Structure 1
Amino acid sequence: MKYKRIFTIVIDSLGIGAMEDAAMYGDEGSDTLGHIDEKMESFHIPNLRKLGLANLHPLKHVARIEEPIGLYTRLKEQSAGKDTMSGHWEMMGLRIQKPFQTFSENGFPKELIAELEKRTGRHIIGNKAASGTEILKELGERELKYNELIVYTSADSVLQICGHEEYMGLDTLYEYCRIARELTMEPKWRVGRVIARPYIGKDAHSFQRTSNRHDYALKPFGKTALNVLCEAGYDVIGIGKIRDIFDGEGIREAYTSKSSIEGMDQTIVLAQKDFCGLCFVNLVDFDAKWGHRRDPLGYGKELEAFDCKLGELLQVLKDDDLLMICADHGNDPTFKGSDHTREYVPLLLYAKHFNHTGRLRDGDSFALIGATIVDNFGLTMPKGTIGTSILKEL
């Protein structure tokens, strides 16, 4: 064991430029980080800079650093797709050969909607791709007045159901989502996630979503690096929506987060406790609040806030800790539409006693992350997974 603890933090959607196959996804020219930087009047991310982010991806407002304290590289995705599940599953060794189904163009099929209405006893409204906040403004009052059910999707492979915490109740909303998850296990309707979207408020002007969101995800189709660690007795701690993404598979302990800042606070607290294994963190606000809503300034400010928390984390890391900062896909807030973007992602690595720092060769898959983690603990990746460890280079 080279490192006792590994902290893997996913800045959800922080792409660093279009992959060579981006045109197949309509994403040529996308560059999440680069275009955010261009839109900012100033961009203050000193800790990410120290780790080498501006060396990896030249930026207008952030200068390269001559002596970075970290190692850095970029990774490309082998899986077919550009969503949260394919990105995270690939990190832990699973290559998705067929993209998860999306229904963003025409909504869900009539047959699925009819069955969901029958099982829930409510008339369904919405059934289109939409922003979660905008659809509440449009249909929230009607849902409450007529006891209907808002169902919608996005560019991701998701079916989302809105429910008012007081008038519908969380238990009822969660039950409707379990019904939808059962129905969408059918191959013709299969989506990656069913998401409960609870909200509060009295009218369109006051509606706001709460932190009681719950994801009902597909289980990974095979064992991952997380299963290997768990079965060997190591701690695997998920923060944010990690547990939901893997449907609990390979997770020993999990904490939900109300925001990306809270997720970092939880990570900092955990770093001051004793454990042996992996802390796996997803910071979703970058994607959900700023990427999909096409707000580059909001995204940039969130990165600055993250950088402050990163400085706090660096102060409490121990001599035998390894920090890995990465992303799961792109979501260029200056790009057309509101979809994720097919981009390379960064991998920034830091430990107090690296023998050298600087640029590493590009990784051929996100699975480099899981393979390196498993290798660190003297274990072997499951049969059928992908990924090559770079432990010897750290």
Structure 2
Amino acid sequence: MSRAFILLLDSFGLGAAPDAAAFGDTGANTFGHIASWAADSGKPMSLPNLERLGLAAAAHDASGEWAPGFAMRDGFTGAYGAAREQSTGKDTQSGHWEIAGVPVLFDWGYFPRDVPSIPAAVTDKLQELTGVPGFLGNCHASGTEIINKHGDEHVATGKVILYTSGDSVMQIAAHEEHFGLERLYAMCEAAFELVKPYNIGRVIARPFLGENGNYRRTSNRHDYAVPPPSATLLDHVKDAGGEVIALGKISDIFATQGVSRVVKGVDNMALFDALLKVEEEAGDKSLTFVNFVDFDQAFGHRRDIAGYANALHQLDERLPEFMVKLKEGDLVVITADHGCDPSWPGSDHTREHIPMIFFGPGVAPRALPISDTFSDIGATLAKHLGVKPLSNGTPLL
């Protein structure tokens, strides 16, 4: 029996990539700077399960530095390494697609930092099509912050909150009850058609609830995304008769292409609960792909170092629940899609190495060389599952 699991810690970078200067990210190091902050605070991080698998060693190989508080130098239990991105951008879709064997070698469109960021040609037409009285924000912003800033006015006037980021994305936020969830989805569908000439990768519906300046986003997020330009690991597994189980926002990122089943979760721990259930159910030749989104959306973009550190501790504490249920023939990789250093200026992603930590009953511990493409991950899993080789990447195991 052969099964594969991708546990993607959204934005968990291990240090600046060689081309980080081109992105203004020289010196960025998501893991290293969180560990330094914790050590300087007098409470060094403790991630014993990830450390035993080789996390700190992989980070050392990527950055040349040992993260403060991590003393283990040998005796690792995983096959560990790091990878550099081949895609031209540091956005969500590029990272996920490249892991699955399809690097993004073209340039996405991005909205400028000028205000308004999204051009009038788009917003005027969107207002005409949907009948909303206007828009709020229309700038680069952190989603949780802009929703709390404009939520009251949105509820009072019906004007919709628009924002973007360093990703190729347009985000539309509205109150589930006062505005309506289906109405928000319909607006995002219309917007997705309008931004196609701008080569924007995604339009994201960001529903929220709450009142009086205290709002929270819900799990009813939905991404309207451009599909991958060619077959990914997901397609190869599904075409070979295997089930592809997408947890969190994975299905949206791949525009449902190659996905057999979708499982949602409101936050990291809900997604981990769902992962444990799927682990019991998944059959032979299955691929389970989970994105733990809170690392990015709740802590990385918000530059919340303490929150990011706490989320890492929570995940590490629960890893044994997952590991004890693994079966012979299972192969797991812990990885990321980009960095989002919470100590870095601004709120955008950072161009960094990502972890490649493979483990499972048949995996021999070893240090892996730094990969020149995230696609080596997908190529390794394709070989393990016995499906058609990917067009990009080299198996590592």
Band the TM-score falls in, shorter-chain normalisation: over 0.9
How far apart are the structure 1 equivalents of 2:319 and 2:170?
Answer: 33
Contact 1:50 1:65 in 2 (8 A): no
Distance 2:154 2:6 in 1: 40
Match of 2:51 in 1: 49
C-alpha distance in 1, partners of 2:14/2:106? 24
Does 2:145 align with 1:131? no
CA separation of 1:143 and 1:274: change in aligned 2, threshold 3 A: closer
Q: Deviation at 1:267?
A: 1.1
Rounded to whole Å, the distance in 1 between the matches of 2:183 and 2:362 is 52
Q: One-letter code of the match for 2:396?
A: I
Structure 1 letter corresponding to 2:226: L
Where in structure 2 are the equivalents of 1:216-227 lying within 5 Å? Answer: 216-227=224-235
Counterpart Cα distance in 2 of 1:201 and 1:254: 27
User: Are 2:220 and 1:234 equivalent residues in the alignment?
Assistant: no
Q: Look up the SS of the partner of 2:257 in the other structure.
A: coil
Tell me what 2:63 maps to.
none
CA distance in 1, matches of 2:92, 2:113: 19
* Whole-angstrom CA distance in 2 between matches of 1:124 and 1:67: 56
User: Which residue identity is paired with 1:389?
Assistant: P
Contact 2:238 2:244 in 1 (8 A): yes
CA distance in 2 between counterparts of 1:133 and 1:232 reads: 41
2:33 is aligned to: 35
Which residue of 2 is the match for residue 7 of structure 1? 5
Offset of residue 213 of structure 1: 1.0
Larger mean Cα displacement after TM superposition, 345-354 or 16-25: 345-354
1:275-332 deviation line (CA, Å, top 9, x unaligned): 1221111111000111101111110110000001212111111122111100100111
Match of 1:265 among 250, 262, 273: 273
**Distance in 1, Cα, partners of 2:377 & 2:122:** 38
Distance 2:356 2:242 in 1: 23
CA RMSD of aligned residues (A): 1.3
2:281 matches 1:279: no
CA distance in 2, matches of 1:201, 1:274: 37
- Partner of 1:210 in structure 2? 218
Number of residues of Structure 1 aligned to a counterpart in Structure 2 = 383
Unaligned runs of 5+ in 1: none
Residue number in structure 2 paired with 1:338 = 347
Which runs of structure 2 are paired with 1:35-184 in the superposition (5 Å)? 35-40=33-38, 41-57=43-59, 58-106=66-114, 107-122=117-132, 123-184=134-195
* TM-score (normalizing by structure 1): 0.94
What secondary structure does 2:237 align onto?
Answer: helix
2:370 is the counterpart of 1:370: no
SS in 1 for 2:179: coil
Q: Supply the distance in 1 between the matched residues of 2:71 and 2:273 (Cα, whole angstroms).
A: 28
SS at match of 2:324: helix
* Structure 1 segment 278-317 matched on structure 2, within 5 A: 278-317=287-326
Three-state SS of the structure 2 residue aligned to 1:230 is helix
**Partner Cα separation in structure 2 for residue 190 and residue 141 of structure 1:** 32
Q: Distance in 2 between matches of 1:350 and 1:134?
A: 38
SS in 2 for 1:168: helix
Tell me if the contact between 1:240 and 1:263 (Cα under 8 Å) persists in the aligned partners: yes
- Deviation larger for 72-81 or 273-282: 273-282
SS in 1 for 2:382: helix
Secondary structure of the residue aligned to 1:78 is coil
Pairwise CA distance, 1:381: 3.1
CA distance in 2, matches of 1:147, 1:53: 47
Distance, in Å, in 1 between the alignment partners of 2:199 and 2:174 is 22
Please list the CA deviations of residues 343-379 of structure 1 after superposition, one character each: whole Å capped at 9, or x if unmatched.
011110112233x312111112100111112122333
- What's the % identity of the aligned pairs? 40
- Quote the Cα distance in structure 1 between the aligned partners of 2:318 and 2:242: 26
Q: Does 1:390 align with 2:396?
A: yes
Amino acid at match of 1:152: Y
Deviations 1:57-80 (A, max 9, x none): 222112124211111011010000
- Structure 1's 320 and 168: CA in aligned 2 closer, same or farther, altered over 3 A? same
**1:274 CA displacement:** 4.2
1:316 partner SS: coil
